Amino acid sequence: MMNTTELNSVEIARWDSSHARWAELMQACSDLGHGADLEAKTADYHLGLYTLVAFTPHEVVGLLRFWTQQIGLDEDKPLLLIEGEPTIEAKSVAFAVRPEFRRQGIGRRLQEAAIEWARELGCYQLRSRSYYSCQENHALKLSMGFAIQPAVQKEAHPSAYFVLPL
Ligand SMILES: CC(C)(COP(=O)(O)OP(=O)(O)OC[C@H]1O[C@@H](n2cnc3c(N)ncnc32)[C@H](O)[C@@H]1OP(=O)(O)O)[C@@H](O)C(=O)NCCC(=O)NCCS
């Protein structure tokens, strides 16, 4: 666990690939097993890929990356229209905090920053998918008011969607 001075120096900011510390972020994604491969996985129905980073002057300590997309297409469903207009959601696809920085509110700050950004982008909702085993992530999402919908896909490990209306 970090001392107060180190925690106070954790900032949350929006980064893109032109950021001077982008390579450091990619290394953190790789270390944490979240979000290093998203550029390669981007599909034609993704409208944008957005990256929030928790960092100190010395290291990247957490990250949240989300795609914006038209609701329905990533589930192989027709595009959902409301009053003839496509509906847009933010889908969080990478979210992690370094173990030694956990349980200090950084994950919650990353989610709050994602909510703010997704609202600015005109999204109806923030959604993510998580395996049943990710208990700490579920506790965080429930404490923030997300709803749960078990995913229907047949898979070895069950998962659920977490959805927050914006
Ligand atoms: C999920 C994760 C990002 C949370 O980050 P974090 O910085 O520790 O989260 P926070 O400190 O902001 O926690 C906020 C709230 O979530 C809940 N929570 C978080 N971790 C918890 C745990 N281990 N047990 C119970 N509740 C927990 C609590 O309600 C907590 O509030 P509190 O500390 O005031 O009680 C982090 O645990 C992690 O990186 N896990 C591994 C990767 C992962 O599961 N990613 C999710 C996609 S599968």
pLDDT for position 74: 84
pLDDT for position 155: 78
Parallel, antiparallel, or unpaired for β 88-97 and 46-55? unpaired
Percent share of the chain, pLDDT over 70: 96
pLDDT of 7 above 70: no
| 1-15, 21-35, 120-134: least confident range | 1-15
Using CA positions, which residue lies closest to atom 42 of ligand 1? 96
State the CB neighbour count (10 A cutoff) for residue 69. Answer: 22
pLDDT digits (tens, 9 = 90+) for 80-103: 899 999 899 999 999 999 999 999
* Pairwise pLDDT comparison (154 vs 11), residue with the higher score: 11
Name all domains of the chain by residue range, CATH numbers in brackets.
4-165 (3.40.630.30)
pLDDT of 125 above 90: yes
State the CB neighbour count (10 A cutoff) for residue 43. Answer: 9
Q: Which amino acid is at 22?
A: W
* Pairwise pLDDT comparison (143 vs 153), residue with the higher score: 143
Instruction: Give residue ranges with CB within 6 A of ligand 1.
Output: 95-97, 102-108, 130, 134, 136-137, 139-140, 143
pLDDT for position 5: 59
* Pairwise pLDDT comparison (153 vs 78), residue with the higher score: 78
Q: What is the mean pLDDT of the chain?
A: 93
Query: What is the distance in A from the centroid of ligand 1 to the CA of 117?
Result: 21
> pLDDT confidence of 73, banded at 50, 70, 90?
confident
Q: Which helix (H) or strand (E) holds 85?
A: strand 85-86
**Mutate which of 64, 91, 128, 136 to test ligand 1's pocket (most atoms within 8 Å of Cβ)?**
136
pLDDT for position 107: 98
Cα angle vertex 9, ends 15, 56, to 5°? 45
pTM over the 0.85 mark: yes
Report the side by side order of strands in the sheet with 46-55: 11-15, 46-55, 60-70, 88-97, 125-131, 159-165, 147-150
Calculated CA dihedral for residues 140, 73, 44, 48, nearest 10 degrees? -30
Q: Which residues are within 8 A (CB) of 160 and not within 5 positions of it... i.e. 6 or more apart?
A: 129, 130, 132, 138, 148, 149, 150, 151
> Scanning the structure block, which residue is given the tokens 């795609």?
67
